[in-house]
A and B are shown apart, each in its own frame.
Chain A
């Protein structure tokens, strides 16, 4: 993983405590202001939780989806030379958070194709209190 130039399409990772998440929502409702999270933003409760979540395996998996475009999770597992069950588990976790989507294929087995929700090539981390940012290029 290495730093990347600024013009790439990024998915932005932000950090927010449960308490401030709640306050932000209550504030929006009371003022009847729209608060819609774009698909290009992901919120974690803390940097530590994000670090636990985004393992090297998951990052490598996103990179393979972005640049090698596998048609199924099985194909992705083969590309990565990892066992299917652990790749499936990582895909489900990444999809749950919004880093990827699992598209139902129209085949008899009902298998799923892992895709990026939009064509991002960078994961941009916004550290708390706007202290600094870090970018990771999926092409690295």
Chain B
């Protein structure tokens, strides 16, 4: 089964600042993709044209989080989750945390 693009959605969250970009592919169910779902959940920093947060589950990894892109692709935080629903929850919770921190002046 060829990977089929299932979801391609974008939402501007903070004007000129952040955009949430979600791409989901339907793939063959396998050990790596037990739900047959390959997902890329990205919070893009529009102003600096770089990813601020990325959660994906490309091979050979399960769901993991990148927080130092584009400088450090090798830094992956493994997420102990199995499903895309959990990945979505982690992503959107983290997005809300980032937005909250942006609004709060750093001490």
Using a CB–CB distance below 8 Å, which chain A residues touch chain B? 16, 18, 21-22, 24-26, 28-29, 32-37, 42-45, 49-50, 52-53, 89, 92-93, 96-98
Tell me the B1-45 residues at the A interface (CB within 8 Å). Answer: 5-16, 19-20, 22, 24, 26, 37, 44
Shortest C-beta distance, B40 to chain A (Å), equals 12
Say whether A53 contacts B16, CB under 8 Å.
yes
Q: A26-B88, A45-B13 are in contact. Are A92 and B26 (CB under 8 A)?
A: no
- The complex places the Cα of A49 from the Cα of B18 at a distance, in Å, of 11
Say whether A96 contacts B44, CB under 8 Å.
yes
Say whether B46 contacts A97, CB under 8 Å.
yes
Shortest C-beta distance, A38 to chain B (Å), equals 10
Say whether B9 contacts A35, CB under 8 Å.
yes
- The complex places the Cα of A22 from the Cα of B55 at a distance, in Å, of 14
- The complex places the Cα of A34 from the Cα of B26 at a distance, in Å, of 10
Number of chain B interface residues as a range: 20 to 34
* Of the residues A24, A32, A33, A92, contact of B49 by C-beta under 8 Å: A92
A-B contact pairs, 5 of them (CB 8 A): A25-B7, A29-B37, A36-B5, A42-B12, A44-B15
- The complex places the Cα of A49 from the Cα of B92 at a distance, in Å, of 19
* Residues on B with beta carbons closer than 8 Å to the beta carbon of A35: 6-9
Say whether B12 contacts A25, CB under 8 Å.
no
Q: Is the interface of B mostly helix, strand, loop or mixed?
A: strand
* Residues on A with beta carbons closer than 8 Å to the beta carbon of B16: 52-53, 93, 96
Say whether A29 contacts B7, CB under 8 Å.
yes
Say whether B9 contacts A53, CB under 8 Å.
no
Q: Is B63 an interface residue (CB 8 A)?
A: no
Shortest C-beta distance, B9 to chain A (Å), equals 5
CB nearest to B39 among chain A residues: A29
Give a binary string over B56-98; 1 marks a CB under 8 Å from any A CB, 0 the rest.
0000000000000000000000000000110010001001100
* Residues on B with beta carbons closer than 8 Å to the beta carbon of A33: 6
CB nearest to B19 among chain A residues: A96
